[in-house]
Amino acid sequence: MLDINVSSAQRVFYYFEQLSAIHRGSGDMEAIAQYCVSFAKEHNLKYVRDAANNVIIFKDGTASYEQSEPIILQGHLDMVCQKTNDCNINFELDGLDLYVDGDYIKARGTTLGSDNGIAVAMVLAILESDDIAHPPIEAVFTTDEEVGMIGARAMDMSVLRGKRMINLDSETEDIVTVSCAGGSDFVVNVPLITNKKQGEKVALTISGLQGGHSGIEINKGRVNADILAGRILNHLKTQQDFDIISLCGGNKSNAIPNTFTAELCVDNAAAFCKLAQEYAGVIKSEICDREKNIAIEITSCGSGEYDAFDKEISNKLIHTLLCVPNGVCEMSASIDGLVETSLNLGVLQTSDDSVTLHFALRSNKQSSLVFLEEKLSAFFKNLGLNIETFGHYPPWEYREDSYLRDIYCDTYFENFKTPVKVLAIHAGLECGIFAGQIDNFDCISIGPEMHDVHTTREKLSISSTVNVYDILIKILGKLK
């Protein structure tokens, strides 16, 4: 049990620990959905569970709130599963190993899943309580948000009566989010032709990069391991010939990849390693202010005969990694500091018959998102490669007259005597999908302080969780 001594939010942390014991990586939603159903049954609450494993739990308003307008409380059940190389946890079987470090909850060797487990924990604590005043609640727990908001897009929202929603998928206590980016997945599959090559195998490994969320942290100068690898491989190609055996970097399209490995076949491993180490020194010197822990290693792996990429395919892949746009494309001209359009090459994987490149595209303007897809399509079709786009979700546009925004700002000021920041973000929230299907939709997104989400350094502030939960309860009491 976590040793957390807070009175008002004790049950929040209890439920967060319960959720963390359940395997709930994106695509593995059966067990966590069943947990929510069991919770509803235990507390005699009406619920709906659909084919996508979304769960909606309904609770009547408390005394004198019975006829109030319903409020939707929403979070997602899945988490991004990342772990360190020495971590033995099996995400398909095991729970997380949580511990407390000062004001933070962390997980040993893995992502924490505070995105968005803490939202679910807060809502469950409210649903369980008998002494929190609130209007009718429609608690919506969606699935597979991290891999394209699949659950929200599949959900039948006609079962909802509420037109006001508090989404709990934000990560900064003193910010209320009122708009977000839309996005899509863009995948390139390169059919693989290989030839037998005799030579010495070397492994080029990049590690120690910060990585992070491909929306929220895309403008923080964090280096993409896949894109950096393209630069290194292109430079080495001008110095000494080599053949590619495999390329591997990143495994989540919405996470900036922080590691990369290439297996190469060369004629002279010693000479090649020397050239690579010299250029690695140049790279480290250039980016050490942004990436203090970067490590670039070249290892000789012995000689033999290997299945190597056809030269034409190798050249196309190196050209792609060197020249494809990545990162921030446009900044907003109307909202100061907001990234308007971006993309992230999050996955580069080699299988038996193909190499896959998976990009996450984002924009706060639908037309800009369409243009980015067209631009990438032209780039890859010119290389003779086929592309696929899917997982489209709409932006959540700013609403001038928002009752929820105003009441949240007032409540925050009452509690902390300082104004809350009202911001739009360059990250996907399910609010956009709800806004596209519910007329006259009023929504805000809030959440406690958490850092380095989608990485093994992820941590959740205990005190901030208490603060946000307390404000949430006060807001519910005002929605009469």
Hey, which residues are catalytic here? Answer: 78, 145
| 385, two tokens | 């490669």
Look-up of token digits 């924490």: 112
Give, rounded to a whole angstrom, the gap between the first and last alpha carbons of the chain: 37
The secondary structure of 54-111 as a DSSP string is -EEEEE---TT-TTSPPEEEEEE--B---B-TT----TTT----EEEETTEEEETTB-
Look-up of token digits 């929200």: 152
Task: Please tell me the distance from the alpha carbon of residue 151 to that of residue 146, in angstroms, as a whole number.
Answer: 10
Reduced DSSP (H G I as helix, E B as strand, rest coil) percent helix, strand, coil of the chain, to 5 = 30, 30, 35
CA angle 359–364–370, rounded 5-degree value: 55
| 303, two tokens | 């000689």
User: Residues 299, 205: contact at Cβ < 8 Å?
Assistant: yes
Closest CA to 136 of 180, 184, 70, 186: 70
Q: Which helix (H) or strand (E) holds 244?
A: strand 243-251
